[in-house]
Amino acid sequence: MDHAEALQQKATERYLLDELDPDVKDQFEEHLFDCQECALDVRAAAMFVEQSKIVLGEPPVATVRVPVPAPAKPGWLVSLFRPALAMPVLAVLVAVVGYQNLVSYPRMTAALSQPQVGPYASLNISTRGPVKTPVTVTAGEGFNLLVTIPPDMAYSAYILQLHNPAGGLKWSRKIPASSPDDTRSIFIPGAGLEQGTYVLTVNGVTAAGQSSSLGNYPVELQIQK
């Protein structure tokens, strides 16, 4: 998938709403590795969702008493649009929107325009052994996984798979091979992360489609409350 196709299919919005077919979702996630614009859109939209949850979870500006209609009176939907009740409700909605426009949006825009320094774990595929690579994050925070793959003429692509502490597959990506030493930066979102040992498995794929295991690389994730 290229950038034009991603825009045409509204892939960013559909990806966040989990409306993409599995094959299209995989194509879009592979596209995110090479397209900084789409990756930035996804991160900005994710930040917007988180900020919206925070805003909507804050105490209301004013307490709005909603009268309970008697059985003989019109239903709640009609009562909602009466001027006496509609104005306080509208005031609360305006306050929420105003907070987003004056505080949340500028804050997110400023954050996205500034250099981001975050936790990361660095893995070198040529290094073998049971040593775990540690990385520490705060609750809800993601991290970058830096994967260095030495060039090998025998492989035309690599398959990276990340397994969670329970052994379940969190994601799988196929990336083309390149040279010289190829270091890929993979951002792991904070949503759904749990403390424990994640394992990255790496397989080399030949031009004929044959796959060979290049090893398993554990990452010890610590989450600070």
pLDDT at residue 219 tops 90? yes
**Non-local CB neighbours of 55 within 8 Å, separated by 6+ positions:** 96, 99, 100, 104
Q: Where are the domains of the chain?
A: 59-113, 118-224
> To the nearest whole percent, how much of the chain has pLDDT over 90?
16
pLDDT in tens, 54-109: 555 555 444 445 445 555 455 544 554 455 544 554 555 555 555 555 555 566 56
Q: In sequence order, what are the beta bridge partners of 58?
A: none
pLDDT in tens, 106-117: 665 655 566 666
The string over 88-103, giving b where at least 16 C-beta atoms fall within 10 Å of a residue's C-beta and e elsewhere, is: beeeeeeebeeebeee
Q: If you search the block for the tokens 């614009």, which residue do you land on?
A: 37
- On whether the pTM is more than 0.75, the answer is no
- Mean pLDDT across the stretch 38-49? 71
Q: If you search the block for the tokens 């040279």, which residue do you land on?
A: 179
Which helix or strand (DSSP H or E) is residue 30 part of? helix 22-34
Q: Give CATH superfamily name and number for 118-224.
A: Immunoglobulins (2.60.40.10)
